[in-house]
Structure 1
Amino acid sequence: EANTKTRGYHLSSLYSPNGWYSWRDAVADFLAAKDDPVLLKDWTNTVLGETWQEAGETVDHELLYQRREHYPAPVPWFVEVLTAGVDVQDDRVEFEVVGWGAGEESWSVDYVRLYGDLSRPVIWQILAEKLRQSYRRQDGVLMNLAQVCMDSGGHFTDEVYAFSRKLGIDWLIPVKGASQSGKAIATFPKTRNRKGVYLTLVGTDTAKELIYQRYRIQEPGAGYCHWPVKDCFDEDYFKQATAEEKIRKYKHGVAHFEWDAKKRRNEALDCRVYALTAVRILQQHRGLDLEQLALNRPVPETYEEELETPAPSLENRPRRISRSSYLNG
């Protein structure tokens, strides 16, 4: 019978007896391996007797938090369309509203957390009202959400499907993450599933790779991410938005990469992934052309004066931009 009380130990080679492996040898091997991750992994395992911890690729949340800016209106001038990404947890839903301009430059507009019992209708009614809310753009136009993507991979899949059918299967799209390298950000189905909704698979690895690349863009323009100075975009939001690290892992001796939150909360990142998925659905299946929209609505020559111009009165306010303009082509 095997002895189940046997203890295992690991011991650094730096404690080797009789000097058969000296500190000089260890230092020399380290210097030879320090610039090669594979050699350094082997050195850490064999010489130090420690488990190799791969350094993750991430973004400093404080740098993003510090570059928040004061918007001249709830939605800045350059936003052509609004989308939302909704994350579903056991006791709450969270969603981010993101505005998109030419080159997929993005402006975060709002972040909402709603707590409640998702098995009961009250929280769904409140969520529906929030998602139908309009946001005023700098030129006075009231903008609705053009597309919403909502996580359906948790414990409330049937509720999310029913919510999609209630609010509009073309407008609120249930999504499910598919962690697979190189998979398209949005794989929109040709037909509805047996529950009557357009369940869309999300290439989460691809989306996170793109989002993190855009976090690193330093100058406004294509791909740049803007956030407003607003209570909902607090430090906790940015910690969640950058919670995951791109980790090199090994399987059967072959290196591959995985995104790992290391048990940190990452709802804000998931919401950003789904908001990005929503704009891709608009582009690929609804005919949205951000560049053309930007050309059709050029920046005023006196943009500085535009910043100081008060919004039009309610009587003279321009018509709303609604989802129907995209869904009906």
Structure 2
Amino acid sequence: MNNGTFEYKMPQNVVFLTCGVDVMDDSLEGEVKAWDEKEHCFGLFIFRIEGSPGQNKVWCKLGNIISSFYETEDNDKIKISCTCIDSGGHFTDEVYKFCKEREHNNVYAVKGKTESRKTLISSVNTSNKANIKLFMINSDIAKELIFEKLKNGEMHFFNFYSNEYFLQLRGEKRIETSTVTRWRAIRAQRQALDYTVNNFVAYEIVKPKQRMVLK
């Protein structure tokens, strides 16, 4: 995969880039997406940084990816506007530390929370040991948005994206009953879905800025 140097130029109507990261026990996995003014998203590249997230070198590599410039078709160079990193696993302290040092660059910790509210971002609080902004997210709402965009052809990918990626992206199934709607895992490996959720949260955070840009 990519080490932070992106070989493919993205469409020139891109407004923002986002990055979503899933924290595994043996790696960081994520994806950089581009978004246009119609809220279509374009998968630019996925990455896997090998090594325990307890190691500083793993986070240094992620820092290089999210601080790099990426080139559009008309040769403009833009940076990632917002990065969201899962903080609900075994490396919460490491996630908090990384985000605290980069919060001024819109690098945020997120954590899934199942609740009845119909908003993607349930709440934002700083009541944590690092006093950082922690975004509590409704993962079910994010999955609804992802599958709706897939259905409507509003998510786009380069042809080097693998079948494994799309199997992971569709690694959960929506189950409806008379009283509740829930998502059930149909694959063990679903990292692509998890970091896509975080990309959608990142876009939700910067979306108000997009509206200002387009005025």
Q: Could you tell me the TM-score, scaled by structure 1's length?
A: 0.59
Alignment partner of 2:46 out of 111, 119, 122: 111
Separation in 2 of the partners of 1:237 and 1:257? Answer: 25
Aligned residues, how many? 209
Offset of 1:121 from its aligned partner?
A: 1.2
Change (3 A) 1:108 1:79: same
Alignment partner of 1:274 out of 198, 201, 211: 198
After superposition, give the CA deviation of every residue in 1:208-257 in whole Å (9 maximum; x if it has no partner): 01110111114xxxxx1111122xx11100111111101135xxxx6312
Change (3 A) 1:162 1:91: same
Separation in 1 of the partners of 2:155 and 2:195? Answer: 14
Structure 1: tracts of 5 or more residues without a match: 1-71, 219-223, 296-329
Alignment partner of 2:81 out of 134, 146, 167: 146
Does the Cα contact within 8 Å between 2:81 and 2:105 map onto a contact in 1? Answer: no
User: What residue number does 1:46 align with?
Assistant: none
Match status 1:171 vs 2:106: yes
Counterpart residue identity of residue 241, structure 1: L
Match status 1:200 vs 2:135: yes
Q: How does 1:1-329 map to 2 (within 5 A)?
A: 73-168=8-103, 171-189=106-124, 191=126, 193-218=128-153, 224-230=154-160, 233-248=161-176, 255-283=179-207, 287-290=208-211, 293-294=213-214
Task: Output the aligned Cα RMSD.
Answer: 2.0
Separation in 1 of the partners of 2:26 and 2:164? Answer: 18
Does the Cα contact within 8 Å between 2:169 and 2:190 map onto a contact in 1? Answer: yes
Separation in 2 of the partners of 1:281 and 1:129? Answer: 22
Counterpart residue identity of residue 108, structure 1: G
Change (3 A) 1:117 1:228: same
Same amino acid, percent of matched pairs: 30
SS of residue in 1 equivalent to 2:38: helix
Deviating above 3 A after TM superposition, structure 1's stretches of 4 or more consecutive aligned residues are: 190-194, 292-295
Structure 2: tracts of 5 or more residues without a match: 1-6
Separation in 2 of the partners of 1:227 and 1:173? Answer: 25
Deviating more after overlay: 76-85 vs 260-269: 260-269
Separation in 1 of the partners of 2:62 and 2:37? Answer: 29
Q: Which has more radius of gyration?
A: 1
Structure having the larger proportion of residues in strand: 2
Counterpart residue identity of residue 267, structure 1: Q
Separation in 2 of the partners of 1:153 and 1:235? Answer: 27
